[in-house]
Amino acid sequence: MGLFDFFKKKETAPEAQEALDKGLEKTKDGFFNKITKAVAGKSTVDDEVLDNLEEVLVTSDVGVKTTLKIISRIEDRVSKDKYLNTSELNFILRDEIQLLLSENNSNDFRQFEYGDYKPYVIMVVGVNGVGKTTTIGKLAHKLKESGLKVVLGAADTFRAAAVDQIKLWGERVGVRVVAQAMGSDPASVAFDTLQSAVANGEDVVIIDTAGRLHNKLGLMNELGKIKQVMQKVIPNAPHEILLVLDASTGQNAFEQCKQFTEATDVNALAITKLDGTAKGGVVIGISDQFKIPVKYIGVGEKIGDLQLFDKKEFVNSLFK
């Protein structure tokens, strides 16, 4: 079975769609209020409307580079149809954003397979406070629900709270946690976790790591060491390096993505706390600028509110 087929099996489409719609409410309200003002008193899409739209996208945290790309595409369409009506602008904007996301993430995550990897190893990175531990717990819950055996490694050994939180999630979800004393070598925790996962025949290993950015070289060295030690047990581990970002931090999420992608080979993104912010545009901008698939989005506080990111559903929900 594909590792993530359970998302389709366990979540019925209406439940997932309802959670997504609710989670994007703040972003959607802010976005459309701004667009309404941008086209007020205008019947056709002229230069002034495009300038106003550019401002809407930038202030919705889509990011300057991605905004300019979207505006350029809309300008091309306007040049072909001089009398394009402003009432059609939402449709055109939705269309262009969907196209942009499709181009950036050519591999559709719904078809993701973990193949012959057992255990499949996920190393989770991100600064403290972005919802990293919660994302780990919710992902473990989803995987366990599907019948997979999951083990968590508490390799953020610099904060007692981080180890305690992972343990609490382990108890709540009913999955095993490998932990050592605070201040232990994170690579040692990762090594023990993988070794025990192999011995116990577990399917998925999720390793938490420290979220410090004050010294990029230190971070790079630490994450590199954890990878090297894990590869002594499983040669190609980790199979996934998942960076967790908090949507409510807006442009700061772009900077965090830049720092972590320079420090390690991030190949998946989880964007959390979309329900608590009007800055959901970061999903579009980060996906475009870093060319890394957004795999998960957090749309609420409930244990089931971690969703697979579906480009089409996300944009459709944003424009409902």
Which residue ranges make up the annotated binding site?
126-133, 208-212, 272-275
Check if the beta carbon of residue 35 is closer than 8 Å to that of residue 11. Answer: no
Sequence-ordered list of residues with C-beta below 8 angstroms from that of 55, at least 6 positions apart, any chain: 34, 38
Where are the extended beta strands (E) located within the chain? 120-125, 150-154, 176-178, 204-208, 240-246, 268-272, 294-298, 306-308
Strand partners, 150: 204
Angle CA(186)–CA(256)–CA(210) in degrees, nearest 5? 15
* 44 bridge partner residues: 85
Q: Which amino acid is at 142?
A: K
- φ/ψ of residue 164, rounded to 5: -65, -40
- Which positions make up the binding site for GTP? 126-133, 208-212, 272-275
Whole-angstrom CA distances from 51 to 28, 136, 249, 309 are 20, 41, 25, 30
